[in-house]
Structure 1
Amino acid sequence: MRFRRRRSHDTEVELNITAFLNLMVVLIPFLLINAVFAQVSILQLDLPAVNESSTPSEDDDKDKLVLEVLIYGDRYEVVDRKSSAVLKIVQNKGEEHDASGLHDYLVQLKKKFPSETAITLLCEDDTPYEVMIHTMDAVRLYNEKMNGQTIKKELFPSISIGSAPADKAGQKGGDA
């Protein structure tokens, strides 16, 4: 029996990339257009600084303010860490924290201490994420009118976060 070998004819196969190019022509502009809407904001946060070990120097400003905002379930407390004085208590509006009231007070405080840029947010362990974000937004920037235009300026851009001390049976008194 004789086996015949089939001769393979070398045929060149042409790669058809038309469908792939059509896909790229549609996909690339779509991705570029949607990239503008998918921006992510990153906010640099720090841990609170511990100044107990360092001795205060004589050239430290006596008027220096070390701001802390304590976030409790029913209020904000604005505290000066150096003097341990409660500067302001901002009660909740209904069920929500009054971030605009806190913001308004901090704008007034910034006018008294324009060189201050640092603030520490101390919150309870069960503080909702949304409350922390709204608080960070309230303490970071403020709007100022100049020549008929609204300009965003930095309020307290250096934000540190930490845990709040235990709330001792609600608040004691009103605004300080």
Structure 2
Amino acid sequence: MRFRRRRSRDTDVELNITAFLNLMVVLIPFLLINAVFAQVSILQLNLPAVNESSPPSEDDEKDKLVLEVLIYGNRYEVVDRNTSAVLKIVDNKGEDHDSAALHDYLVTLKEKFPEETAITLLCEDDTPYEVMIHTMDAVRLYNTEINGQTIKKELFPSISIGSAPQDQTGSNGGDA
């Protein structure tokens, strides 16, 4: 028997990375340019303030407005926590909350109390996320026109969130 020796075909293989480099040359600038447009908006929220140990003077309490917006299934209630007075009830517009009417009322309140920046949103446990977000948008900023230009100004930027007390009217907002 004859044994043939096979020739080993060991050849040096060269790594061709030209296609990979071409891809990177195009991909990296594309990702860097689009990274500017992908920004995340963060809104700082607080818990409702607890009454401090030393009560403020009566003159300060009279003039001070502590705004709360209670979000129920069928309406918004704007309340002054100091006097426990319901300032405005904004009923739903159809099935949706009327955040535009709430916004308009808060703009008129801001004109009366321009130094006030804090507001507390009190929600029921089953309040939809979208309703909370629309309410936060309605209470944060408003548009004003100065010298023919529309400018966004802060309405009540310091937002606190908490749980709303039980609805005393007995209505469940149309949810059965």
* TM-score, scaled relative to structure 2: 0.85
The aligned counterpart of 2:54 is 55
Name 1:88's counterpart in structure 2.
88
Any idea what SS the aligned residue of 1:70 has?
strand
Is 1:38 equivalent to 2:38 in the alignment?
Answer: yes
Counterpart check, 1:131 vs 2:141: no
**Superposed, which structure 2 residues align to 1:95-134 within 5 Å?**
95-134=95-134
Q: 1:149 to 1:44 in 2, by over 3 A?
A: same
Greater displacement, 81-90 / 30-39? 30-39
C-alpha displacement of 1:36? 3.4
Q: Tell me the CA shift for residue 136 of structure 1.
A: 0.1
Stretch moving more, 35-44 or 109-118: 35-44
Q: Which residue of 1 aligns with 2:29?
A: 29
Deviation at 1:44, TM superposition (A): 0.3
| SS of the residue 1:40 aligns to | coil
Distance between the aligned counterparts of 1:143 and 1:170, measured in 2? 36
The total of aligned residue pairs comes to 169
Percentage identity across paired residues of the two chains: 83
What amino acid is the match of 2:18? T
CA–CA separation in structure 2 for the residues paired with 1:55 and 1:82: 15
Ranges in structure 2 where 5+ consecutive residues have no aligned partner: 1-6, 172-176
Q: TM-score, normalised by structure 1?
A: 0.85
What is aligned with 1:3?
none
Residue ranges of structure 1 left out of the alignment (5+ in a row): 1-5, 172-176
* CA displacement 1:46-96 (0-9 Å, x = unmatched): 000111x52213386241100000000000000000110000000000000
* Residue in 2 that maps onto 1:174: none
Q: C-alpha distance in 1, partners of 2:163/2:39?
A: 30
Paired residue type of 1:55: S
RMSD: 2.6
Match of 1:64 in 2: 64
